[in-house]
Amino acid sequence: MIDLSVPPVPYELPQSMEAGARLLLHVCCAPCSCAIIEGLLASGLAPTLFFYNPNIHPREEYERRKAEVVRFAAKLDVPFVDADYDTDAWLARVKGLEQEPERGRRCDACFAMRMERTALYAHENGFAWMATSLSISRHKDQAQVHKAGLAAAAHHPEVTFWDYNWRRCGGADRGAALAKEEAFYRQTYCGCVYSQRKV
């Protein structure tokens, strides 16, 4: 049982990351991102949340997940950026990969699209660092997520993708406990229409 009255352990920061660094955190949902946000703040960083998830289907599900992130961001006074819900662009990106299994090539394309948009925003808005909450989930292949983030950041030399293992030191368990404490909506599928059909 995670005791939420005990403060989170600060993250081990890269040597090149300065205290108070601005970091753009791509967030997929509140349950996955809550412990990460908490940990970033405890580490003395200044995160901005970037919600770009055109894969989430249907629109009502997208809005419900986004609302929970907005609520938590407001509670912690953390900046929130609402990116476009360009689901048509996402469908075009994964065309031909509809029958791929979870963690397959469709997920590669999905992660790449979301990380590319995050890296571009970081580049255009002066963020030297970016990361994503996607890799905390035990249902995701962490290496697959990190590969997409590193590749996206490589297009912008001044942006570094922080491929931290958020699961370390019970990160996923703390996130689950915090999500329960906050009464977050907990989704039952990854997000896209193709993962929904497997529920």
CATH of the domain at 49: 3.40.50.620
Report yes or no on 9 lying in a domain.
Answer: no
Averaged pLDDT score across all residues of the chain:
93
Assigned domain for 175 exists:
yes
* 67 in a structural domain: yes
Residue 114 belongs to some domain of the structure: yes
Residue with tokens 């962490």: 142
32 belongs to a structural domain: yes
**What is the domain count for the chain?**
1
The pLDDT of residue 27: 98
User: H helices within 77-155, ranges in order?
Assistant: 87-93, 105-124, 142-153
In a domain, 17, yes or no: no
Q: What is the mean pLDDT of residues 18-44?
A: 96
Range with lowest mean pLDDT among 6-15, 45-54, 107-116: 6-15
φ/ψ (deg, to 5) at 25? -105, 110
Confidence of residue 90 (pLDDT cuts 50, 70, 90): very high
Domain around 108: 22-196
Quickly state the pLDDT bin for 190 (edges 50, 70, 90). Answer: confident
